[in-house]
Structure formats: structure tokens, C-alpha cells
Chain A
């Protein structure tokens, strides 16, 4: 049954081609349905392949399927191949599953957009790339998916390209990710230079000859790639801006799937990390610092999507903390949990934005609970899940990571636990501002609509098509069904890996390919329970503080200092360095070196020849002939010199 694997990859690709070349004939809603069908088919094929792999003996669950020879040059032999093992199948299952739901949701969300078909073209291409990323059997083919998802992210962030901000955000995302790709590329070069292979199996089999220093270099270079893709410090600056894309894109790419690619890569190369304890420590510190940093920034954001963006960054930080604590199972567990509740948060936020006629400022919302019962209920579930309240999935997976972090160092645990408090706080602030209290949008409503109509009304505004006169209301079932399914997954998701012996299904399943010291760490039961109670108390405190503060008043400038609102001025600093310093350097090269020195020298020679030439002859068009003569004479001289010298 694992022979269904090519179908997983090919269906979204086929969808991409059909929509690209035949989409116009299909018409608007059908194009969306076709795209959804392709991805759902891929999900079904994933289940079939998963069951096939499960039926095999645990130690045999690592199958390479080679499709064709791709880049064969000398010792470098790279195939188009898939690696089917518990890790890749776990990834592909949740990627295609969540993608199917988001495709479905998008059919309604993007309704009426003039580029409706193109949206699904890009979305299918994205899913194809993401599947390649997680299923590829070697680093280079993984890199195809890696760059593919980045390219699709570029295309989708800039989907409403006539908005300058969207176009700039798209470019920023691509370029910042390129810095990460630099690390990925160099890591591949190093791996090849030391193991003679780029196949995962081949590389891991030859690690015996890799020194600790080399392993650290490889790990840190791959980490650079992962940091770019997964929006960790310091390469995160693209993620908040990427919220310019349509909200389903934020849910799919910038929350559930693409941004987790860095975590996947780190888990995939865990045999290399095992050779380099230093790199694990770096990853853990980076992760926990990012988690804390982003959580503080999220506390001061007013845009409903930017809160979620910083929250995503923070949660990804937890996953890196998990990886750095060698708790690979826990990292993947949290990745799956996060995919459910964060996709849900974004989709529900999209539903809110939809109902608010594209208003994204939470300060202008409020009281929506009454109007959006399904959206608000599902949002509440996700809120409790991300805050770490039992029995929702986030509680179990976050606890898993924090337990492993404690095992590595209590300091890591302390910072991670403080972040739990912040997380609960900022999410509560969001819930309170959006769904409870006074309906602050009532007086704004006509103004909002007027402003929208003036701003060349397209995209989101056009996407909603329906009547905007009445009170806010839920979308059709294809928008609410994904919310309900994801809410169900957020409630029950913890069951896949409960921290009790035989109930650790995911850990057991992943153990042949990704089990680290952190996963096996066995603290005493009493210590675990103590840690758990501490984080639970912190989460409760966060919720309490958040609701107390923001339920009473929406205007608290002291709690929204500019330094947090502007994300510690990271954007200002980086743009000052890049456009200021870098730009000046480039201009200097262009004007001084190129035009001044090099061209100056050339023109100087030309000038000399020209002034000599005018003495001889007055014709205006004879420059070429004149120069040619000069060069010929010079040639003879040099020729003579060479012949004399050579003999």
C-alpha cells in the first residue's frame, strides 16, 4: 500500500497543471473545488500509505522510492526519490489534512475575487512543494520543496499585488528566506564534501567519518536555513509583514505548514545533531528566546492577524526548544497541535475579518460573540488550547516540550514557563477585545465601508461579495465546517501522545527515526506533576490578568509601549542597515569604482587616442579605423616581444 506514495505527490501537481492551463474553462467555483479535490485526494493517499507503512515491522519502516535519476555528475548522484518513514508520513498526513480544510474554506473566502482561479493554482503548487519538502529522500530534493514553498509564499503574500505593501512584504519574505537558504546550501556542500552523498540514508550511514566540529558547522548552517523558514530570531522580520496575504494563506503557509519546515528539517537531521551537543544547546536557547521575545511583542499588537503572527513565531520557538532539548517527538507533537489550533485561530480570524468588512484592528471590534456563535466557540477552544489548558491538545504538547527542557536545564524551563504566562495573557486580550465587551464597530461601520470602497476595492473586500448592510454574520458551511473540524482536532489532538507509558503513540511511532535523549527523559512522576502544575497555574494567571485588564478598558497605553508595538525596532534597524549602509556601499561601487575608476581608465585611454587621432585626420566617423590601426600596431610590437622572449 505504500505504493500510493507517488499519488500523494502527483495529485496536487496535476491540480496545478489543470488549473493553470484549463482553469479558465472551469469557471470560478469549480476551479476551487477541483483544487480542493486534488488536495483531499492526496490526503486519502497519505492515509493509505500511512496504513501501509504501519503494517510493516517497526525497524523496516524506512523505505526509499526512487523515481528517476535527476542530477548525476561524477560522485554526485542525486535522484528524485521519496523517503517513506514514520516522520515523513506524520508530516504529510497533517499537511494534506489541514490543507484540504483550508482549500475548502478558501472557496468561500475568495469568492468573487477576480484572481480566484490563480489563488488555487498557487495553493495547489504550494501543497505539492510542501509534500516534496517532507517526503524527499535527499537534501537536494528537499531543497526543491523548501524553495518551492518559499516561492509560493512569495506569490501568495503578494497576491493582491497592486497594494504596494503586499508586494513589498512578499519580496521581503523571499529575500530574508534567501539568507537562510545560503545556510542550507552551504550545509549541503559540507555534507557532500564529507560524506560524498546527499541522500538521507547515505549521509547518516557515513557520519562515522564526520568530526564533531564539522557536525556542528553543518548543524548550525542548517539551523540558519531553519531560522529563516521558521521565522526565528533574527530572521523573523518577514513573518509579521507576510500577514498582507489573504487570511487562508496565513493559516496554511504562515501558521500550519511552511513555517514548520525548519523544525521538520532539524528533526530530520537528528543523527547529525546527535554528534554535536553544542548545536543542540544553541537551538534550545534560540528557541526559548524567540518564544519569549515574540510573546512580549504579541502583547502589544492591535491587528488581529499580527497578534497571531507573533504568536506563531513564539510557538515555533517552543518547537525549537523541543528540538534543542533532543525531544524530537515532543517537537513534532507540538507542531501538529499547533497546526490545528493556529490554523483554526487564523481561519476564525478570517471569519471575523470577513464579518467586519476587512477591519483588522481589534480595538474596533468587540462583542462579536453574539453574532458569530460558531466562530467564537471554535476560537475559544483554540484559545484554551494555545494557552495550555487541559484537556486541549496544546496543554499536552507544550508540557512535553517543557518537561524535556527542564531535563536539559531548569533555566530553559523557567523562560519557557514565563512564556506560557504571556501566551495566555495575549490570547486572552485578543479574545476579550474581539468577542466580548461593547460592539465598538457599530459607529465605525459606515466609515469602514466607505474607506474600503475608495481604496480600489479588490481582494478581501471584493472577496466577500455578499450583503454588508446587516449585522455581522457567519459564512456559509464551507467556511464553518473547517472551523468545527479543527476545533474537534484541538480538543482531541492530545490523545495522539499522552504522557503515560503505552499511550505515547506518537513517540513510539517516531522512535525508529527520531528519538532523542529528551524524549526518553524520565523525571520522577512527582517532579513532572509539579512542573505541570506550575505551568498550569501560570496559564491560569495569564488568562485571569488578561481578562481583568482588558475586560474593563480597551485603552491601556502603558501596556502597549512603542518598543513592543514596533517589535523592538527590529525593522527600523534592519532597514537602516540594509538600505542605508548597504545602499550607500552599492552606490559607491557603482559611481566611484565602475564609472570613475574602471570606465575612467578606459575613457582616458580612448581620449588619448582620440586627441592623437585628430592631428592625423579630420574625418568624424573614423574612430573605429583609427583605434583598429593603433591596436594592430600594438599587436605587432607585443608579438615581436613575445617571439623574442619565447626563444
Chain B
């Protein structure tokens, strides 16, 4: 048995508040959770304004904390920082263990930035109290998922995202919201079930080998003892759950319905945060914990990713509903990330993480603006839009910047991630990279077509009254995201300096356990 034991080098886990004077990570997770409970329990239904204020203040405060955390995050270290560790359900070895590394640091930050954008920029008129409550609970669950370093704790947070998201689609969505919410719930829940099986078996097998029950991510990552076959089964359990969440082709058909029916706030969170949970999970739990299985199944994942890219954009071309169209492009966008993650190069992985961050920023802004567009036209049907730019030049300009970001025009954020993903894939998996690049070309077609339908030409319905430009509230909400789009594109260094060490650690971990050396050009070892 001991022959298959292979302890990878340990992962540094530094505890301490990092100069904050209080445990920063629990604060980030617990603050919105407490606020959600407070809104539910103490805010009377006839005082929705109080709920709105609480939602705004808390979500902005959490964003501030997350940004401060990212700034204080030490560069050049591959391990976890600001760690917190308490025994929780000791009988089963379940811990309250949080930590943040280069993979998760900006996912936490972008999540914390997007929530106030959604809460402030896209308020609802129907039952705002419950809306704010669910939003805050969802925020806590998402942040907890990114920070949890105990597999079971992660699972709880991951599952905790389901009820709020279900409600956000099912209660505040469009006409077919019930169907969409149900579909979303079932897809995700089925995936989660597989993950639960995998994680229980994983802990059980670990217990059998090492004699103690633990769900500790670091222990399960460094103490590699599974045979490749068992690893593949467990990998699949996790991977399917995340593939549904991402979503990876062919697990994506819940997405267009959910995205089209969700309220603006719901669709912002779906597009900017929820998908990152899936791709993050693929890195943390599939690549790190099952490196051999990941390498063995890489061709499958790469192929699904590449097919998703081309497929997503092709299907998007023929959509007539704006939200459905953008939803299909998400399948393509996320496919690029999946391809890059399973190329096992530092460019691919750093680029993947970078693109997740970009994705949160750009798609958050995109769906906020789409919400405004749909509101102005009173329909999501592209065939009935047109000519908005004359009435709303500012909105047109913002939409254009976001479109260019998503299309991957260099100088803006999307290009950095996309380029790293593609070049990182190319050096190990040439033809998949070529297929992925085809998708990148198609993206321009879809987005520019949509842009033209919305903004160019004359209004298709002549009797339409003049439409208002973007409002001040929405402008304030989207402005930080647009600024980030530019900063992330022009000066990615501070972000990459934090992401790279952890990405390198994971790639080194995978190559050490699989004897698959990274190409010399990727590491820079070439003279």
C-alpha cells in the first residue's frame, strides 16, 4: 500500500490576521450572513428601505474588506494566507478552516465587488426586503465557498448557494421563471449529489489509509494515495458537479433559461459569480486533489471545453433573445477557461484564474447593462430593438467598452486572460488551442451583431417614445467595473504577481505526481 503513497511537498498555511487586528476571512463570510439573518428577522415588511440600506452598507463594507485583504495579500508565496482553523464537528474530522491563496484571492474580491453592484444597480420593486435578504445570504455562501479549506465545509457553502439562487430566479424572474428555477435547481442538485458521494468516499479512503478522518483540503491534496482508477471515479463525481455549475457542454442547457428568466440582479450574480464557483472548483478540487485523474481525463475535458466554445458561439448567433444569446456566449467563454485549466501549464492556469476574475467584472457589467437595455425596450427580443445609441449615447459607450472587453480586444482585461489561456494551451495541446481560437473569432460576430441590433440603425418600432439614457444609480454601479476592465487590461502585474505563485505550485504539484514535465518555454527554463 505504501508504494502508492506519494506525499507532495506541503502547502504553506499561514494563520494570523495579517495586520488587520481581527480575523479578516471569517469577517468577510459572516458579515453578510448575519446581515441576511438580521434583515429576515428584524426588518419589518413595510420598511423595505431599511433592508435596502442594510444591503447597500453591508455589501459595500464587505467589498472594502475584500479589497483590503487583496492589497495586503503577500506576493511571491504559493500557500494560504490569513488562515483560520477550528475544530468543528470533531467526531468526523470536519473543521471550520478558511484560507486564501493566489487562486482564490481575486475570486473573493470580485465576488465582493459584484454583489453591491447587483444590489445597488438592479433593485427590485416586488418585496425588496426578501430580495436583499436572499442576496446577502447568497453572497455569504459564495464567499464561503471560495474560502473554505475543508471539503465538507466547502460542500455546505456550495449547497447553500442553491436556495437563494433558486429564489432569485423563481420569485423575481420573468414569465417562465418557475420552469427555469426548477431546471437550475435540479441540474445543480444532481451534480451536487455526485460530489457528496465523492467527498464522502474520499474521506473514508483517506481514513482507511492514514487512520484518521479528515476533510482537510491541504491534507487530502498533499497525501496522495489513491490508485488512478479510484481517483478517476472520485474526480468525475466532483467534475460533473462543477461542470454543471460552470457549465461545461453538454451540461449547459439550464443556463439559457436561468439567465433569460432571472431578474437583472440574479443574472448578474449568475454570470459574474456562480460560474466562477464551478471553474474554481475544477482547479481546487479536481486538479489539486486528483492530479493523476486530471491528467488522464484531460483529453475529455479539453474536448468538452473546445466543443463548448465553438458550439456556444454558433448557437448564440441564431438566438433572438438578448439574454439567451449572451447566455450561450458564456458557454463559449467558459469553455476557453476549461481548456486552459486542463492544459497543465502555468500560463494556462494563471490565465484561467485571471479570466475568471475578468469574467466576473465584465459579465457583471454586461448583465447590468443588459438589464437596463431590456428595461428601456420593455422586451429582450433583439428583433424589436434598435437605434438606442441616439437616445442613450452614454449607455452605448459603456456597452461598447464592455463588449470590447468580452470580445478580447487588447488593452482591456479580457484579452490578457484569453491570450494566456490560449498560449498556455498551445504549448502542450496545440490543436485544442486552435479550436479555442476559432471560438474567440466567433465571439466578435455574436457580440457586434447584438450591439448593432440594440444600438445602431433606427428604432424598429417607430411609435416608441424617446428612451432615457442610463440612470445615475446604474452609472455609479457599473463605473467601478468599467474602471477595473481597463486596469486589468493595462496593468495586470499586481494581479499576476499574486496569482502566479499559487498557479505555479499547482502545476508543479501535478507534474511531480504525474511525471509530466511542463514545456521549457512555459517555465522559462530555456536558455
Contact = CB atoms under 8 A, between A and B. Distances in A.
Given A75-B525, A586-B314, A646-B230, 13 more contacts: A71-B419, A75-B523, A148-B410, A163-B457, A171-B448, A189-B433, A599-B253, A627-B185, A631-B193, A635-B193, A635-B196, A638-B194, A642-B197
Prevailing SS type, chain B contact patch: helix
Contacts of B196: 635, 639
Given A189-B433, A639-B197, A73 B457 contact: no
A639 B350 contact: no
24 contacts: A73-B503, A74-B345, A74-B347, A74-B350, A76-B420, A147-B415, A161-B389, A164-B458, A167-B452, A168-B452, A178-B444, A179-B441, A182-B440, A185-B440, A193-B430, A589-B314, A590-B318, A594-B253, A598-B250, A598-B253, A623-B182, A624-B182, A627-B189, A631-B189
Interface residues of B, number: 83
A586 B193 contact: no
B427 A193 contact: yes
A273 to B, nearest CB: 22
Interface stretch (B199-207, B270-278, B298-306): B199-207
Contacts of A586: 314-315, 317-318
Interface string A619-637: 0000110011001101100
A161 B455 CA distance: 8
A73 B503 CA distance: 10
A162 interface: yes
Given A171-B449, A193-B426, A74 B230 contact: no
A75 B521 contact: yes
Contact of A602 (B183, B390, B426): B183
Contacts of A158: 456
Interface in B420-454: 420, 422-424, 426-427, 430, 433-434, 437-438, 440-441, 444-445, 448-449, 452
A131 to B, nearest CB: 13
A239 B318 CA distance: 26
A548 interface: no
Contacts of B351: 73
Contact of A585 (B314, B422, B437): B314
A77 B434 CA distance: 22
A568 interface: no
Contact of B456 (A164, A192, A602): A164
A69 interface: yes
A298 interface: no
A76 B421 CA distance: 12
B186 interface: yes
A174 B444 contact: yes
Contact of A182 (B190, B317, B416, B437): B437
Nearest to A641: B197
A140 interface: yes
B123 interface: no
- Residue of A76, A168, A194 ringed by the most chain B CB atoms within 10 A: A76
A68 interface: yes
B359 interface: no
B437 A70 contact: no
A163 B422 CA distance: 37
A635 B415 CA distance: 41
A594 B504 CA distance: 37
Contacts of A333: none
Contact of A634 (B193, B404, B520, B523): B193
A102 B199 CA distance: 66
A79 B136 CA distance: 41
Nearest to B233: A642
A76 B411 contact: no
Nearest to A624: B185
A148 B404 CA distance: 10
A126 interface: no
